Amino acid sequence: MSTTVKAAVFLEAGAPPEIRPLVLPDPGPGQVRVRMTAAGVCHSDLSLSNGILPQLWPVVLGHEGSGVVEAVGPDVEHLSPGDRAVLNWAPACRSCWFCLKGEPYLCEHSLDGTLTPYAELTDGTPVHAGLNTGAFAEATVVPAHALVPLPEGVDPAAAALLGCAVLTGWGAVNNAARLRSGDSALVMGLGGVGMSLLQAARIAGADPLIAVDASPEKEEAARSLGATHFLVADATTPKEVRAIAGGRGVDHAFEVVGRAEVMRAAWDSTRRGGTVTVVGVGSAQDEISFSALEVFHQARTLQGCVYGSGDPDRDIPVLAESVRSGDLALSSMVTDEIPLEGIAEAFERMRRGQGGRSLVLFDS
């Protein structure tokens, strides 16, 4: 038996999504069907839709989601119908070289599910699941190990953000940079991940905590989430940051835009011996350069950070506890609550650099 649901389908790169009926198969061995509660609209979805990141077509995008287990296939023992869960778009195989080395966020097989169609349009056209999950639909079918049970006490809709924005931002601070209390920090780019990163840096004790964005309208939100200073991005940003941070620059700079010029600005804003953590996903054609002398002389570390350098099975319960304690605010990151039909407008807001996180709410 199959299930027909409503989904936002992207037929080709650069095309807007079309709301279409989608035919989902029943879950097979090791699979689970999830009735979606909410899905966040992430900038990575935009990069997939316009071809900056590779993707097979047609596709249902959306990888930041929460929902309720509706049906389980054979061999699924740790989940049952009715369980609430958060989607993990990069489930680790636990057996490849990277997983065995303790780096599940670099798993060699985490995106294998994107290569095979998971559903069909009503005319029989095969459809792929963007980043394994296909969250921009009323329901989806995913491997059981792509779900993390949601602890009690967390709003089930806002919990969608735990699956990408929050885990990525929190992990960049705690897993990748390992920021310590009293370290100075800079966050460049205040979308959903940047706002999460701000909160994580505040909780970790960053001081000063400088937020930078091209949009001056984001100052109020940035300060409410912990920024001690806010700057509107321009050519003078590195100089202004260094002036705030003792003339030396910050201990930690986080780039959350995915553009070479912003990465370079983050580098120039960091003290000698400091660390630049690149969280934003950029284009393969957008190159950044350094002189051989400055790499030696500045003694800075430039590092990438994939999915918060984390392990969702381990980290999402920790994040849920921070939500329950009131340290981590999820609802404050959501600027727009939208129906499935509002995804095209949400993508346009991201293109313009407006707002924080748009959250698709489903009737579940």
Ranges of residues in the chain whose predicted pLDDT is under 50:
none
What is the per-residue pLDDT for 303? Answer: 98
pTM for the model:
0.95
Q: What pLDDT shows up at residue 354?
A: 79
Which pLDDT value is given to residue 1? 74
* CA–CA distance, 37 with 156 (Å, rounded to integer): 7
Task: State residue 45's pLDDT score.
Answer: 95
Please, which residues have CB within 8 angstroms of residue 21's CB and are 6 or more apart in sequence?
4, 5, 6, 7, 121, 122
| Helix residue spans in the chain (DSSP H) | 43-49, 97-100, 165-171, 192-204, 219-224, 237-244, 260-268, 292-298, 312-325, 343-351
The separation between the first and the last C-alpha atoms of the chain, rounded to the nearest angstrom, is: 21
Q: What is the pLDDT of residue 353?
A: 79
Q: What is the pLDDT of residue 332?
A: 86
Report the pLDDT value the prediction gives residue 356, as an integer from 0 to 100.
78
pLDDT of residue 363: 80
Question: Which domains are seen in the chain, by residue range?
Answer: 2-154+330-361 (3.90.180.10), 169-307 (3.40.50.720)
* pLDDT score, position 255: 98
Maximum CA extent, the chain: 66
Task: Let me know if 22 is exposed, middle or buried by CB neighbors in 10 A (0-12, 13-18, 19+).
Answer: buried
